[in-house]
Each structure stands twice: as C-alpha cells, then as structure tokens.
Amino acid sequence: MAIQQAYNPGIPADMRKCSVRVSGLPMQWFIPEGPFIYATASNPPEVTSKSALSRTHRATQAARFAIGFNVGIKQKWTMPKIIRLVHRIRREQVKRAFDEGYAVEPGHGGDIGASFIAQKGLWQTVDRRKDYPENGAQVVIINNISEKHREFRQDMEYLAETLATELEQDAVLVEHQSRGVVIETVLYGSR
C-alpha cells in the first residue's frame, strides 16, 4: 500500500467540518486538521496523482467516515491502524464487486477501487454534562469503480459497523454523499 500526503485532494466529496445529532444521543462532530493522506493499493504514481483524481470526478457517490481514536478516555488507535483496517476491508469489498460483476474494473491496470483519502482531526462527543475531545480521523471513499448504488451503500454500512466494532467505538459518523453533497448522515455504533 502506498501513502502520499497533499493539502488539496481535488475530489468530488465534502471534507469540511461535519456534525450530527441523533434523538436521544449526544451531538457528534469532526473538525479536519492537517494534510490529506492518499492510501492506495499498488497504483503506479501517475495513477495516484492527477489522472486518478480526474477519473473520480465522473463517480458521484462517496461516503465519509469520522471516527475517534479513543476507547473510553484513553487513546488506543492511530492513523496508520485506521488506514490499514479500512484498506483491508475495502480491498475485500472491491474484489467481491469485481468478481460478482456489480462494479467495473479500472482500465488503467491499477487497484484504485481500494484507494481512499484520510485526514487527522478532532472528534468530539458533546452532551449536556461534558465535552469529550479526542484525536480522530476522517476517511473518504469515492465510488470510483462504478459500483452499483445499492451495493456501494451496503459496503459502506458494513465498513462503518466493522470500524465501530473492531475499534471499540460508541459511534462512527457516516455521511453518504452524491456529487459532493451530503444526502444522509448516520451514526453507527458498537454498543
């Protein structure tokens, strides 16, 4: 897996501050900070740069995940752990999508379908009693393999549930996006 850093990803997804309030639960929000990290699977460098990004402008579906690094009040996870976990799961999903015929393999020979963009930031749960700021990450996955809408959505839901469970998180915020516009925001949790 190759990792590149940049400050302007030029992608069709909203990566600004995000928040959600679900009835009966505290407010959750994420503020991005720092460079974008491109996590790719063995793509040639020219594919992971401008040609890959221009190709993603034709894909309109995306999902943005915001997740904290803490379990309780102690930091347990790091950005490299999040990147490895997302990469492992997404790579399996992409392989299945190609094998079952509900996605189109990229014509350039790379494995761009398992690629995503990550960024560190501040994750916070706010309720009436306390604030819980902690380090966190956002991960944006763009449907750049033309995966069918229903299957992409199911894959993103599975990814959110797996992140919440494996990282022992009370909440993982997921924004389902189309053409860079948030369509729906959902919280997934392990408890």
Tokens, residue 9: 């990803």
3-state DSSP call for residue 105? coil
pLDDT value at position 188?
A: 87
What residues form DSSP beta bridges with 116?
A: 39
pLDDT class of 69 with cuts at 50, 70, 90:
very high
Range of the domain at 180: 2-188
Mean pLDDT along residues 161-180: 90
3-state DSSP call for residue 14? coil
Q: What pTM was computed for the model?
A: 0.77
- Domain count for the chain, please give it: 1
> What are the pLDDT digits (tens) for 80-110?
999 999 999 998 998 888 888 888 766 544 4
pLDDT, greater one: 162 or 72: 162
Look up residue 38 and give its amino acid: Y
> What are the pLDDT digits (tens) for 139-168?
999 887 888 889 999 999 999 999 999 999
> How far does Cα 15 stand from its chain's mean position?
10
CA–CA distances in Å: residue 165 to residues 79, 149, 152, 169, 170: 17, 24, 20, 7, 9
pLDDT value at position 12?
A: 67
Percent of the chain with pLDDT over 90: 27
Tokens, residue 65: 């995940």
Q: How far from each other are the two terminal CA atoms of the chain, in whole angstroms? A: 32
pLDDT class of 10 with cuts at 50, 70, 90:
low
